[in-house]
Amino acid sequence: HPSRADTFTESVIREMTRLALKHNAINLAQGFPDFPCPPGLKTAACEAVKDDINQYAITWGAKDLREALARRVKTFNRMTFNPETEITVTCGSTEAMMASMLAIIQPGDEVVVPEPFYENYGPDAQISGAAPRYVPLTDDLSIDEEKWKSVFSKKTRAIIINTPNNPTGKVFSKQELSFIADLCIEHNAVAITDEIYEHIVYDGHKHVSIGSLPGMEDRTITIGSFSKTYSVTGWRVGYALADAALTDRIRKIHDFLTVGAPAPLQRACVAALDLPESYYKELAMEYDRKRQILYKGLKKAGFACELPEGAYYLYTDISSFGMSDTDFARHLVETAGVAAVPGSSFYANGGETKLRFTFSKKDETLQEACKRLETL
């Protein structure tokens, strides 16, 4: 019997992690740190368990966490959300995205997905029954306005935005987001915006939340997470911010999908939000250094790439190696002992000349990977 599970493949990013383990390779495929999270967060998590915060939190998230999030989002993202009615804590941004799409999409609704895109959005669209309309970024990662206008129509229900972007590192400017906001308003569409890398930006680039732009308050779902900002990808704590009407629907889906995110870790995330402002500066500086290490190593090994504006990936062009992305990724993991993600994972069609490497690793890990890549 056919099933919706037949309409997409398993995650190539997670598959590359399994291949890296099998070949004892350095995993520059899946984006997660191999260094510890801030020590205060570990203490807070242990204390929460000892304090018996071990039963379900309120379905839409522990009250103290929603309140702390509302304060943080007000100062950093310049958006105001009522923690009682407009914030939902989820199992990572992965669940936030899936719950958001299930909450607003009717089978057949069109969803605009800029390409290249984070792998999950493809299956998310399939699972929710959306008809995806892919629209490419130009080669220099900008918006071809005529092309973008032409994919919006009466059928458009939503657009998926991801800034800073995975895999390209693009940080969408305020002007670009205003252009997208105008399209959403004109076509009565919702912007679902994945901002998980919001604190990882370089060279003076500024993160802007499309939900903070005029006219977008009641048509934006902003998704964030503790995973990348605080190096706790295994905790599975993320969130969706939206006006009360959208949040009502998101919460219903979220409740029946997962009941709630891990309660003791929600408590520990309150401690994360108490970290001083300097923490965020240092995080971006650390990643800037790692970005330079891997960039130099990749260049030396013959990869063509640009320094990304944000997030923690280097998106390389491998045309000069004369192999397809999947063959080359396999070759790399088996012979050089370095795992990366084939570019085709980020496209509905295409990406065969691309390979993505993460630099969310210890300096030593990156240096060893660079050494191995030189043997290519």
| Interface residue list for ligand GLN (CB under 6 A) | 13-14, 30-31, 94, 118, 166
Nearer to ligand GLN by Cβ, of 156 and 193: the residue is 193
Residues forming beta bridges with residue 160, ordered by sequence position: 192
CB 241 within 8 A of CB 222: yes
Nearer to ligand GLN by Cβ, of 13 and 210: the residue is 13
Residue 210 in 3-state DSSP?
Answer: helix
Nearer to ligand GLN by Cβ, of 94 and 229: the residue is 94
Q: Shortest Cβ distance from residue 13 to ligand GLN (Å)?
A: 5
Nearer to ligand GLN by Cβ, of 156 and 168: the residue is 168
Q: Shortest Cβ distance from residue 32 to ligand GLN (Å)?
A: 6
CB 187 within 8 A of CB 101: no
Distance CA 142, CA 119 (A): 20
Q: Shortest Cβ distance from residue 233 to ligand GLN (Å)?
A: 7
Q: Which residues, at least 6 apart from 95, have a Cβ–Cβ distance to it below 8 Å?
A: 236, 238, 254, 257, 258, 261
90 closest CA partner among 225, 203, 289:
225
User: By 3-state DSSP, what share of the chain in percent is helix, strand and coil, each rounded to 5?
Assistant: 45, 15, 40
Q: Shortest Cβ distance from residue 166 to ligand GLN (Å)?
A: 5
Nearer to ligand GLN by Cβ, of 123 and 350: the residue is 123
Q: Shortest Cβ distance from residue 152 to ligand GLN (Å)?
A: 27
Which tokens hold the place of 25? 């390779």
Q: Shortest Cβ distance from residue 54 to ligand GLN (Å)?
A: 25
Distance CA 70, CA 64 (A): 10
Nearer to ligand GLN by Cβ, of 196 and 241: the residue is 196
Shortest-Cβ-distance residue relative to ligand GLN: 31
